[in-house]
């Protein structure tokens, strides 16, 4: 196990893990965004992008986020470019928070996350509803935003563990 | 105040314009790029359409491959459940077959009578059927659609009806070279002209974004009549796209406006894509 931990392949794999999870989430049919449970859904990709671009942007490049957005649009069938734009807006907020914050705090991150998911879901509704004339269910968006916000702490601790593991591996 | 503004400007410039060690593009470049993609996606230029088709082809196929392990697990789970319920299912099916055999006799007569009546008024309904496999059924809370493995090379066209067995499930809304996207009846943007039988009320069936549909645009006096347990919704054929009489769903007796679709959209594996030519025999 210790030899596995020290192998360069494992180190590379760990450093690409956030990107792999991101692409699997957008490509795969299984989606937390649609769990076939009445009035329950959350956007795992938003949490993933927010956490990694805020805490360790070196492991999730903006280009891969842009491409993941394009893929997500094609797979779920909404006009191409919308998800990329929303994902990059998350990145811009996290980049700004990183620049103005000296000591990161979980509560501040969590509240910023609420602001950004409400902002990007509003933008998505505006684009789909007003420009493309898609009929969208506002309640679904609101429920999705609410659960995404509530689930952030759980994934925060999982990703934090992973992040520490990656940093330890990189420094070994 | 000026210092505060300077801090904001520095933080803003650093966030948007500066490239980090492992970032190949600045954030602002990519945001502009995504806005350009959104705007270009709106234009109907040949070059853009070709690029869109190419992207769709590659992503649909990749998504199908990536989803393979998950689909095997899903199918395995369904097989196990079927084996567990085998005996009960067998007994229920036996009863159903008995009932259907009786019903078939009267249906055969009605089919022949219907054919004779159509011949009398010189009306014919011809159809072209194409069988397709469902590549992706990743639903989102915003759009209910599936992707099929047949496209323009198999003569699939926008607007064709998609049926599961005899039940209508949706219509084709996007066609690529080797695949196409189908908007399911459950999608909020799906609206089809329908006939509610046995009352014979014309209505519009709309998706709700959930697993059921609802009746729209029916006069209040008719809405009160829709309360029987045996209300079946068929296509009326008024739009000219679908054949009249395709079963869509059953009206939920508890909630008058709700339609429970006959087909389970989450279990679609193979479907038929059909185009109808409704016209005169002359």
* Per-residue pLDDT tens digits for B162-193: 988 888 899 999 898 888 999 998 888 888 88
Instruction: Report the number of distinct structural domains present in chain B.
Output: 3
pLDDT below 70 — which residues of chain A?
Answer: 1-7, 29-37, 172
Among A159-163, B180-184, B226-230, B262-266, whose mean pLDDT is lowest? B226-230
In a domain, B220, yes or no: yes
Contact assignment for A34 to B41 by CB distance below 8 Å: no
Domain range enclosing B34: 23-55
Do residues B150 and B194 both lie within one domain?
yes
- How many residue pairs bridge chain A and chain B with CB atoms within 8 Å of each other? 151
Domain boundaries, chain A: 48-171
Q: In A, residues 39-58, which contact B (CB 8 Å cutoff)? A: 41, 57-58
B38, B52, B70: residue with CB nearest A29: B70
Cis peptide before B198 (omega within 30 of 0): yes
To test the contact with chain B by mutation, choose from A77, A112, A121, A143 the residue with the greatest count of B C-beta atoms within 10 A, namely A77
User: Cα dihedral angle (B20, B24, B26, B27), rounded to 10 degrees?
Assistant: -90
Residues of A in contact with B66 (CB under 8 A): 24, 27-28
Note whether B146 and B249 are same-domain residues: yes
**Angstroms from A91 CA to nearest CA on chain B:** 8
The region of weakest confidence among A31-45, A59-73, B104-118, B216-230 is B216-230
Measured CA to CA, the distance from residue B111 to residue B12 in angstroms comes to 72
Does residue B14 fall inside a structural domain? no
Given a cut of 90, whether residue B52 has pLDDT beyond it is: no
51-80 in chain B: CB under 8 A from chain A: 52, 55-56, 59-60, 62-63, 66-67, 70-71
- What are the chain A neighbours of B21 within 8 Å (beta carbons)? 58
Q: Search chain B and give the residue with CA nearest A94.
A: B15
Q: What is the pLDDT of residue A89?
A: 92
Residues of A whose CB is below 8 A from B11: 96, 99-100
pLDDT digits (tens, 9 = 90+) for A93-136: 998 888 887 778 888 889 999 999 999 999 988 888 888 888 78
Q: Is B24's pLDDT higher than 70?
A: no
Chain A hits for B34, Cβ within 8 Å: 66, 69, 81, 84-85, 88
Q: Which of B:207-226 have CB within 8 Å of A? A: 209-211
If phi > 0 it is left, if psi is from -120 to 50 it is alpha, else beta; for residue A103 that is beta
pLDDT score recorded for residue B282: 46
Average pLDDT in the B117-129 region?
76
Does residue B105 sit in the same domain as residue B207? no
Q: Nearest-CA residue of chain A relative to B207?
A: A135
Smallest Cα distance from B175 to chain A, Å = 12
Residue with more model confidence, B251 or A51: A51
Tell me the average pLDDT across B257-280: 82
Same-domain pairing of B144 and B249: yes
How would residue B279 be classed by pLDDT, with cut points 50, 70 and 90?
low
B159, B232: one domain:
yes
**Beta strand pairing call for B145-148 and B180-184:** antiparallel
Query: CATH number, domain at B195?
Result: 2.40.10.340
Please indicate, yes or no, whether the overall pTM of this predicted structure exceeds 0.95: no
Q: Taking Cα atoms as reference points, which of A1, A52, A3, A5 lies closest to residue A171?
A: A5
Q: Do B145 and B245 share a domain, yes or no?
A: yes
């Amino acid at each position: 196990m210790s030899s596995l931990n020290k192998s360069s392949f494992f180190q590379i794999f760990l450093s690409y893990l956030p990107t792999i999870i991101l692409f699997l989430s957008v490509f795969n049919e299984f989606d937390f965004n649609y769990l076939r449970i009445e009035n329950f859904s959350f956007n795992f990709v938003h949490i993933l992008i927010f956490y990694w671009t805020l805490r360790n942007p070196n492991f999730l490049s903006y280009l891969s986020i842009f491409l993941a957005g394009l893929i997500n649009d094609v797979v779920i069938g909404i006009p191409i470019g919308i998800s990329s734009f929303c994902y990059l807006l998350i990145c811009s907020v996290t980049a700004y928070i990183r620049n103005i914050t000296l000591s990161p705090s979980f509560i501040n991150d969590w509240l910023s996350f609420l602001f950004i998911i409400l902002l990007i879901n509003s933008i998505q509704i505006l684009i789909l509803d007003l420009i493309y004339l898609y009929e969208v269910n506002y309640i679904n968006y609101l429920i999705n935003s609410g659960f995404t916000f509530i689930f952030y702490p759980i994934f925060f601790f999982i990703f934090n563990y992973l992040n520490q593991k990656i940093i330890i591996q990189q420094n070994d | 105040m000026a210092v505060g503004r300077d801090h904001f400007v520095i933080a803003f410039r650093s966030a948007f314009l500066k490239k980090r060690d492992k970032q190949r593009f600045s954030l602002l470049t990519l945001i502009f790029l995504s806005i350009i993609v959104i705007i270009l996606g709106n234009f109907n230029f040949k070059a853009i359409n070709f690029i869109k088709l190419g992207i769709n082809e590659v992503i649909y196929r990749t998504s199908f491959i990536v989803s393979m392990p998950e689909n095997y697990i899903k199918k395995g789970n369904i097989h196990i459940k079927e084996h567990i319920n085998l005996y009960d299912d067998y007994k229920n099916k036996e009863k159903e077959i008995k009932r259907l055999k009786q019903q078939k006799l009267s249906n055969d007569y009605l089919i022949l009578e219907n054919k004779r009546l159509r011949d009398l008024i010189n009306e014919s309904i011809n159809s072209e059927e194409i069988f397709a496999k469902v590549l992706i059924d990743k639903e989102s809370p915003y759009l209910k659609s599936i992707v099929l493995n047949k496209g323009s090379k198999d003569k699939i066209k926008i607007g064709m009806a998609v049926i599961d067995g005899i039940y209508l499930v949706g219509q084709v809304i996007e066609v690529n070279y080797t695949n196409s996207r189908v908007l399911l009846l459950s999608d909020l943007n799906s609206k089809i002209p329908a006939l509610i039988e046995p009352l014979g009320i014309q209505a519009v069936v709309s998706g709700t974004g959930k697993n059921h549909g609802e009746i729209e645009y029916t006069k209040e006096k008719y809405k009160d009549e829709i309360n029987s347990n045996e209300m079946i919704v068929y296509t009326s054929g008024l739009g000219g796209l679908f054949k009249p009489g395709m079963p869509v769903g059953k009206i939920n007796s508890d909630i008058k406006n709700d339609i429970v679709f006959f087909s389970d959209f989450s279990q679609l594996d193979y479907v038929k894509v059909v185009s109808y030519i409704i016209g005169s025999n002359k």
